[in-house]
Amino acid sequence: MSERSHIPPHFTPLPNDGTHGCFGCSPANPHGLRMKFFSGDGALFSWLTVPGHLCGWDTLVHGGVLSTIMDETMGWTAIHFIKKFAMTNSMTVEFLKPVRIGESIRVEGRVVETDGRREATVEGLLYKDNDVLCVKAAGKFRLFTPAAIARLGVMDEESIRKFDFLLQP
C-alpha cells in the first residue's frame, strides 16, 4: 500500500519545507513524529504510525505523545483555516481507548469557533482501526498576525515568510 493510498484524492497536502526541527511535523527531525497534514472536507487530517521509541507501557503510545499529536493537529488546523498564527492557550484531552505502537491512526482537526480576531476553539479527534475513536481533545488557541509573532520574538522574519502560503486568504 502506498503512503497516499488511504488519503482521498481530493485532499490537498499542506507544504512543509522541513527546514525546522518541530517534534510534531518536521520531516527533518529524526526523533519526531514527522506528521504530514492534508486539507479536505472542511477539516485537517493526518495519518501516521507512532514509532516504538515513543511508547509508554511496553506496547502503548505514551499519553504525552498522544497529547502532542492532538496539539499539533489542532494548531495546524487553526493556522490553515483561520489564516493566522496560532499558539496553544489551553487544551483538554480525553483518552478513550488505548493506542498501540505501530497502529495506523488518523487524526482530524476542525475549528469549532472563533472569538473575534484573537482566539479560536479547535477540536481534535484521533481514530484507529475502523473508525474507533481513541482520543478527543479541545483547545483554545491565541491568534497572532505575522507582525505580532515578530514582535514577540517567536520567529524571525525569514521563518515567518515561509508561512505566507498558509496565511493568504
1 falls within a domain = no
Nearest to 22 by CA among 39, 40, 36: 36
Q: Is the pLDDT of residue 1 over 50?
A: no
User: Could you tell me if residue 3 is inside a domain?
Assistant: no
Residue 108 C-alpha from the chain's centroid:
8
Confidence band of 2 (pLDDT split at 50, 70, 90): very low
Separation CA 23–CA 41 (nearest Å): 27
C-alpha cell of residue 52 = 516504538
Cell numbers that stand for 30 in this block:
529524526
Give the count of domains, the chain.
1
Contact 138, 92 (CB under 8 A): yes
In tens, the pLDDT along 138-162 reads 999 999 999 999 999 988 888 888 8
For residue 12, the cross-strand partners are: 39
Closest to 20 in 3D by CA, of 120, 162, 129: 162
Domain that holds residue 56: 12-167
Q: Which pLDDT tens digit goes with each residue over 87-138? A: 999 999 999 999 999 999 999 999 999 987 899 999 999 999 879 999 999 9
Q: Label residue 55 by pLDDT band (50, 70, 90).
A: confident
164 vs 86, residue with greater confidence: 86
1 or 35, which is more confident: 35
Tell whether 139 is covered by a domain. yes
Degrees, nearest 5: CA angle 23-107-70: 50
Instruction: Residue 44: give its domain's CATH number.
Output: 3.10.129.10
Residue 8 — pLDDT band, cuts 50, 70, 90?
Answer: confident
Residue 103 lies in a domain: yes
Instruction: Tell me the three state secondary structure of residue 17.
Output: coil
Q: Is residue 7 part of a domain?
A: no
36-46 mean pLDDT: 95
Is the pLDDT at 53 greater than 90? The verdict is no
Which amino acid is located at 59 in the chain?
T
Q: How many CA atoms lie within 13 A of 58 on its CB side?
A: 0
